Structure 1
Amino acid sequence: MSRRAEIKMTPGEVRAYLESGRVANVATIGPKGRPHLIPVFYILEGDGIATWTYGTSQKVANLRRLPEATVLVESGVSYEELQGVSMECDVEIVEDTEQIVRIGTDLLGRMSLDTTAQGNDEVVTAAAQFIRVQAQKRVGLVFRPTKVVSWDHRKLGGTY
C-alpha cells in the first residue's frame, strides 16, 4: 500500500521548504539530448524560483533551445528525514538589465550571512556596483512550475 499521500507537502509547506533552502539542482537538456544537471543558488519568485547566471553558460544555451527544466530542492540524510520538492518548469530567460540587477541583489541579500554589513554605506555601495557590473554579463532565469511533486518523510513518524 502506497503511503504517498501521507508524505506529500501542502502548498504552504512547499513554499516554506523552498524559503528555507538555498541551492536547487536544475536539469536542462543538453545539445546531444542528455540531461545537463547543475546546482544554482536561488530566490523565490512567485510559485517558482529565480536565479542569474552567465549568458554564455551551457544551461542558458540549453534553455534557448528548449525553455523547460526540472528543478530539485532536497534534504535529509536518512530515509525518515528525506524532504524535497521537484518542479517541472517553463523557464523565462530575462535579459532586461534592471530585472537582472533585482535578481542579483535579492540573491546577494539572501546569501549574505554577514549582517554586520547592513547599514554600512560603503559595503552597500560596493555590492550594488558589483551587481550592476555582473548584470552586464548575466541573464536572469525564472522557473515557473507546471507540475510540483513533494515529499516529507518526517510525516511518517519513523515508520515506513
Structure 2
Amino acid sequence: MSRRDQIRMNTGEVVDYLAEQKVINVATIGPNGRPHLAPLWYVPRGEAVATWTYRRSQKVANLLRLPQATVLVESGESYERLRGVSMECDVELIEDTGDVAAIGTELLLRYSGEPSASAELEAGVATQAAKRVGLLLTPTKIVSWDHSKLGGVY
C-alpha cells in the first residue's frame, strides 16, 4: 500500500474532520485568471459546506463567471499531525433572503456556541442576509490526508 493510500481519509473521516474544523479557505478564479483566496466560516453539510458572503464581494463576482471553487481545510503543527481536506467544488449561489438568513443563523450558532437563536440574533442575521448570498460548495473531487495514520513511521 502506498503512503498516499495510508493517509487518505475515508468518507466518514472527512465528514467528521469538516465538522470539527472552523475555517475553510476558498479559492475562486479572478478576472485576471489568478486565484482569489479567502478564508470563511462554514457550516458542514456532509462532505459539502455552506457559508455566506457579501453579495458585492470579489468571490461572488468570480463565482458568477465560473461557479467553481477549490476549498482547503487543514490543521496540524507538526508533520505527524498534519491533516486536511482539499475539495474541487461546484458552487450554488443562494439568493433567497430567507435561505441566506438560515445559513447565517447556522453560522452564528456554530461559532457562538449558543444552543438556539435569540430574537435579537435573528433580527441581526435578517439585516445581514439582505446584503449577502449563500454559497453551497459541493465537492466533485476530494483529496485528504491524515499523517497521524502513519503512527510516527515515515
Pairwise TM-score range, normalised by the shorter structure: over 0.9
Which residue of structure 2 aligns with residue 126 of structure 1?
A: 120
In structure 1, the gaps of 5 or more residues are: none
Other structure's SS at 1:31 match? coil
CA contact (8 A) 2:53 2:134 kept: yes
Task: Count residues with an aligned counterpart.
Answer: 154
Amino acid at match of 2:41: F
**Per-residue Cα deviation, 1:113-144 (whole angstroms, up to 9, x for no partner):** 3x4xx57xxx7111000000000000000000
**Per-residue Cα deviation, 1:53-95 (whole angstroms, up to 9, x for no partner):** 1000000000000000000000001111000000000000000
Query: 1:41-80, aligned counterparts within 5 Å?
Result: 41-80=41-80
Structure 1: how far apart are the matches of 2:15 and 2:64? 28
CA contact (8 A) 2:18 2:47 kept: no
Matched, 1:157 2:151: yes
Moved over 4 A (4+): none
Which residue of structure 2 aligns with residue 13 of structure 1?
A: 13
Matched, 1:85 2:79: no
Other structure's SS at 1:128 match? helix
Matched, 1:137 2:140: no
Normalised by the size of structure 2, how large is the TM-score?
A: 0.96
Matched, 1:105 2:105: yes
Structure 1: how far apart are the matches of 2:88 and 2:127? 32
> In the alignment, which of 130, 141, 146 is matched to residue 147 of structure 1?
141
Structure 1: how far apart are the matches of 2:87 and 2:81? 20
Percent identity between matched residues is: 60
CA shift, 1:159, in A, is 1.5
